Amino acid sequence: MFAKDSYWMKSGIYTMGQRVTSLITGFGGFYILVRLLSKDDLGAWALFVSVTALIEVARGGLIQNAQIKYCATASAEDYPKILTASLSLNVIVTIFSVIVLSGLAHFMSNLWHSPQLEMMFYLYAITTVILIFYYQFNFIQQSNLDFKGIFYSNLIRQGVLFIFIFLSWYYNHDIKLYELVWMMSIGALLGAVLSYFFVKNYWKITYKLEWEWVKKLFHYGKYVFGTNISSMIYTSIDQMMLGYLMPVSSVAIFNAANRVTNFVEVPLSSVAAIVFPQSAKRIETHGKEAVTYLYERSVGLLVAMILPVTIACLIFSKWIIIIIAGKDYVEAAPILQIIILATLIQPYIRQFGTTMDSIGKPKTNFYLLVFIAVINIGTNYFFISTFGLIGAAFGTFTALLIFLVISQVILYRELNIKFHHTFIYMWKFYVDGFNKGLHVLKTRKLRG
């Protein structure tokens, strides 16, 4: 087994720790906010978070992977040039984001019938400028395979907002949404300052900008950038369409049901992070057959992990909503039942993107995501207009089914991946788990 001080053990602990703490602070903050804010305010906050998450994910997609790739093999001479180019690209993207966000702030507040959103978007411009340094420091640490500072800076950033929400509940403070945006800025600032102390030994930039490196980083990251934007639009369009077609309070109800799926995101992200480097490595050493095996097995494992949660949510949806959001949101129960069914499709879709990237076909994933994002807009518009609030769940579920069918056809043609094989691996996971459980019980009984 690996030694405790090995790279994989440390990086694994910090990476998983970051995801778990983000889940806890995010869900914990929601658990309190849903009991403190009105449905209109909570819906406005959900829409605000959707837009700002889109900006952050887009920036990461354009810069992160490109910087990590080139810094990993850079010479001592090129390393500072790459960091300078990356920082410059970060600044350019941020300036563009601030201009677009400020220009659309009034329009979006009218579109979603929530005047307070306009000021929140203006305030967030401050946050996103601070995040230039926060993300730049994190990208540098990733490039140097140092995950410790990323964990602690993320903990500080998320923790500031959570502590403010908790203290507001404890001292019975009436939260204003703009206060939450200010807390995001403070958290980003403190996180960036802390991150600097972890990254200062790696922080080497030049005073001369090499535009050739800026172009290299941009061209490498543009497809990841486009994929991330399409993915975020595709995942958040249901809430955005609800805000446009229905009262903003409906977004709060939908968001309450959607929060449950956050728990599914942890195994999805963790397995995807493991499978990508394995797929990329095995296609070089063992050919496409190895990638076929990895896809079918990893999807089978994920479905096996998610299925019990899905069954529990289908049976106890009402009680789960009451526990998470309170009795005022009980109408979200049938929405949860549809959304949780959709999570069974997510492993197929998530691993499709990972597999396409690993075999050198990121464009395929990009074009399909753009297509499905457009389809999702159409299905959500139709189903929300026809069925109201629950139509958002039907619309996204329909788009996911279309995505599933198309992706499986592509995978079959490219890698001879068979859809039904994932269920064989799922069943094998349960059988192996049952047998291991019996073995442990027998061993303990014999020792006793």
End-to-end CA distance of the chain: 28
pLDDT of residue 447: 66
For the chain, percent of residues with pLDDT exceeding 70: 90
What does 45-70 look like in DSSP terms, one character per residue?
HHHHHHHHHHHHHHHHHHHHHHHHHH
Q: Is the pLDDT of residue 273 over 70?
A: no
Contact predicate 359/416, CB 8 Å: no
Radius of gyration of the chain (CA): 23
Furthest C-alpha separation in the chain: 72
Taking the C-alpha atoms of residue 183 and residue 157, their distance in angstroms, rounded to an integer, is: 9
DSSP 213: H
pLDDT of residue 435: 81
Taking the C-alpha atoms of residue 147 and residue 38, their distance in angstroms, rounded to an integer, is: 38
pLDDT, one tens digit per residue, over 296-306 is: 888 888 888 88
Taking the C-alpha atoms of residue 165 and residue 168, their distance in angstroms, rounded to an integer, is: 5
Contact predicate 343/310, CB 8 Å: yes
Sign of CA dihedral 100, 103, 107, 113: positive
pLDDT of residue 5: 47
pLDDT, one tens digit per residue, over 315-368 is: 999 999 999 999 999 999 999 999 999 989 988 988 888 788 777 787 888 889
Q: How many residues does the chain have?
A: 448
Taking the C-alpha atoms of residue 306 and residue 278, their distance in angstroms, rounded to an integer, is: 22
**Is residue 4 very low, low, confident or very high in pLDDT (cuts 50, 70, 90)?**
very low
Q: Is the pLDDT of residue 6 over 70?
A: no
Q: Is the pLDDT of residue 3 over 70?
A: no
Instruction: Please list the alpha-helical segments (H only) found in 171-210.
Output: 177-199
Q: Is the pLDDT of residue 91 over 90?
A: yes
The listed range with the strongest mean pLDDT (28-37, 72-81, 195-204) is: 28-37
**Is residue 269 very low, low, confident or very high in pLDDT (cuts 50, 70, 90)?**
low
Q: Which residue has the tokens 């070089």?
A: 284
The listed range with the strongest mean pLDDT (79-93, 181-195, 290-304) is: 181-195
Please name which of 61, 56, 60 lies closest in space to residue 224, comparing C-alpha atoms.
Answer: 61
pLDDT of residue 351: 83
For the chain, percent of residues with pLDDT exceeding 90: 47
Average pLDDT score over the chain? 86
pLDDT of residue 442: 76
**Is residue 268 very low, low, confident or very high in pLDDT (cuts 50, 70, 90)?**
low
Contact predicate 113/39, CB 8 Å: no
Q: Is the pLDDT of residue 36 over 60?
A: yes
| Averaged pLDDT for residues 88-95 | 92
pLDDT of residue 301: 83
Taking the C-alpha atoms of residue 269 and residue 239, their distance in angstroms, rounded to an integer, is: 22
**Is residue 9 very low, low, confident or very high in pLDDT (cuts 50, 70, 90)?**
low
**Is residue 1 very low, low, confident or very high in pLDDT (cuts 50, 70, 90)?**
very low
pLDDT, one tens digit per residue, over 361-412 is: 878 888 898 899 899 999 999 999 999 999 999 999 999 999 999 999 999 9
DSSP 174: -
Taking the C-alpha atoms of residue 133 and residue 191, their distance in angstroms, rounded to an integer, is: 9
pLDDT of residue 437: 77
Query: Helix 362-387 to helix 391-415 angle, to the nearest 10 degrees?
Result: 160
Which DSSP helix (H) or strand (E) runs through 229? helix 211-245
**Is residue 272 very low, low, confident or very high in pLDDT (cuts 50, 70, 90)?**
low
pLDDT of residue 318: 95
For 33, phi then psi, to 5°, come to -60, -40
* Tokens matching residue 153: 């800076």
pLDDT of residue 286: 60
Q: Which residue has the tokens 């903990």?
A: 155
| Averaged pLDDT for residues 408-422 | 91
pLDDT of residue 246: 94
Please name which of 222, 211, 192 lies closest in space to residue 58, comparing C-alpha atoms.
Answer: 222
| Averaged pLDDT for residues 10-28 | 79
Query: Where is pLDDT greater, at 148 or 167?
Result: 167
Query: Where is pLDDT greater, at 15 or 90?
Result: 90
* Tokens matching residue 12: 């694994």
Q: How far is CA 432 from CA 294, 367, 392, 443, in A?
A: 18, 38, 38, 16
Taking the C-alpha atoms of residue 237 and residue 392, their distance in angstroms, rounded to an integer, is: 9
Taking the C-alpha atoms of residue 404 and residue 303, their distance in angstroms, rounded to an integer, is: 14
